[in-house]
């Protein structure tokens, strides 16, 4: 197994005896090779002051790693007292998939839940508290696997305080949260999986069109051959296989600022036009669910845009023919 090939350093985290979600949650900030983005995320997190923050930085070279370690030490000096700050700079380059998966494995061996942020994902206090409230829902582990902060829609300011949440069969990896129970069934290496058979009884998979299923099976089979390439495609497979869904806001609570950057793993291209202006809601999202017809329309919007399992252009042409 890919994640078994590494033994990472243990940290000093211990579960709070209170059992409170806020106390038993860790925000993990993943840093790679982008010094200025790490600074920006730490400035944001300093304002949020989560109960527990762990910064995990993958190794690039001695100079970059030393510089990023210094940034973390400098921030730790003036970090809010009620927020626990720890960090770890890897001594070898793990790569995106192994870095993220092994670190979450390790943190969740001690803590009950994590909020996961990468250095190119801008967040606010509203996202953090929305994630904690979602994790605290009585039905969370029965019905849902994750809370995700991204949405194709950026709400205007006058609507941001009315932001609701919805259910989606798609995994949002741009700022997300999961419990230990939810993470336990995830596998980064799915080489031995009979993909078609394992999905045939999934409630969420059954609802997809034949074209969507063909698209996703192609993606899953591709990642079976190279599991170290990424980790989120495997998580989408796990989400479909479980038959559960994710909770996401109607209006986005996070922003990906890593587009058009050659250092990015999967966002080297320009920011997609469908995302509109770079903005997101800083207000906390209500935990009230939006009505089902609207939720279904928003899932379709995800399919046409960020998820891309329904080609956008043919659908637009079809809509114009119907008008």
User: Which ranges in the chain belong to alpha helices (H)?
Assistant: 35-48, 62-77, 96-108, 125-135, 140-143, 180-183, 195-199, 203-206, 210-225, 232-242, 292-304, 312-322
Say what the pTM is.
0.89
d(CA 34, CA 261): 10
Q: Is the pLDDT of residue 215 over 60?
A: yes
Query: Domain span at residue 308?
Result: 2-322
Q: What are phi and psi of 14, to 5 degrees?
A: -140, 145
Q: Is the pLDDT of residue 267 over 60?
A: no
CATH number of the domain to which 313 belongs:
3.90.550.10
pLDDT band for position 7 (50/70/90)? very low
Q: Around Cβ 179, how many Cβ atoms within 10 Å?
A: 22
- Please, are residues 56 and 69 in contact by the beta-carbon 8 Å criterion? no
- Please, are residues 5 and 101 in contact by the beta-carbon 8 Å criterion? no
d(CA 117, CA 120): 8
Q: Residue 184 corresponds to which tokens in the numbers above?
A: 């336990």
Q: 199 burial class (0-12, 13-18, 19+ CB within 10 angstroms)?
A: buried
d(CA 100, CA 24): 19
DSSP designation for 182: H
pLDDT at 18: 45
User: What percent of the chain shows pLDDT beyond 90?
Assistant: 78
Mean pLDDT taken over the chain:
89
Number of folded domains that form the chain: 1
Q: What are phi and psi of 147, to 5 degrees?
A: -110, 130
d(CA 62, CA 17): 39
Instruction: Specify the range with the lowest mean pLDDT, choosing from 21-25, 96-100, 217-221.
Output: 21-25
Rounded alpha-carbon distances, angstroms, from residue 273 to 20, 89, 141: 41, 36, 35
Tens of pLDDT along 183-209? 999 999 999 999 999 999 999 999 999
Q: Is the pLDDT of residue 60 over 60?
A: yes
Q: What are phi and psi of 240, to 5 degrees?
A: -60, -45
């Amino acid at each position: 197994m890919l994640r078994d090939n590494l033994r990472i350093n243990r940290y000093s985290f211990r579960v709070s005896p209170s059992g409170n979600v806020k106390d038993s949650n860790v925000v993990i900030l993943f840093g790679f090779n982008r010094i200025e983005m790490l600074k920006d995320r730490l400035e944001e997190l300093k304002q949020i002051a989560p109960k527990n923050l762990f910064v995990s930085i993958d190794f690039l070279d001695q100079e970059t790693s030393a510089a990023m370690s210094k940034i973390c030490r400098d921030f730790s000096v003036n970090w809010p007292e009620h927020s626990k700050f720890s960090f770890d700079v890897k001594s070898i380059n793990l790569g995106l998939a192994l870095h993220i998966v092994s670190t979450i494995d390790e943190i969740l061996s001690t803590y009950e839940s994590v909020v996961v942020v990468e250095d190119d994902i801008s967040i606010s206090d509203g996202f953090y508290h929305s994630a904690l409230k979602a994790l605290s829902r009585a039905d969370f582990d029965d019905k849902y696997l994750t809370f995700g902060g991204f949405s194709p829609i950026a709400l205007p300011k006058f609507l941001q305080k009315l932001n609701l949440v919805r259910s989606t069969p798609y995994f949002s990896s741009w700022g997300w949260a999961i419990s230990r129970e939810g993470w336990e069934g995830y596998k980064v290496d799915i080489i031995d999986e009979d993909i078609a058979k394992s999905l045939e009884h999934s409630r969420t998979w059954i609802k997809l069109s034949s074209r969507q299923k063909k698209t996703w099976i192609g993606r899953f089979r591709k990642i079976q051959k190279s599991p170290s390439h990424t980790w989120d495609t495997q998580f989408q497979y796990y989400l479909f296989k479980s038959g559960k869904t994710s909770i996401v806001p109607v209006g986005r609570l996070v922003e990906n600022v890593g587009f058009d950057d050659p250092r990015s793993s999967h966002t080297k291209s320009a920011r997609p036009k469908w995302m509109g202006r770079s903005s997101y809601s800083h207000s906390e999202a209500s935990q009230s669910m939006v009505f089902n017809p609207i939720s279904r329309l928003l899932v379709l919007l995800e399919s046409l845009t960020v998820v891309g399992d329904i080609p956008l252009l043919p659908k637009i042409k079809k809509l114009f023919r119907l008008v």
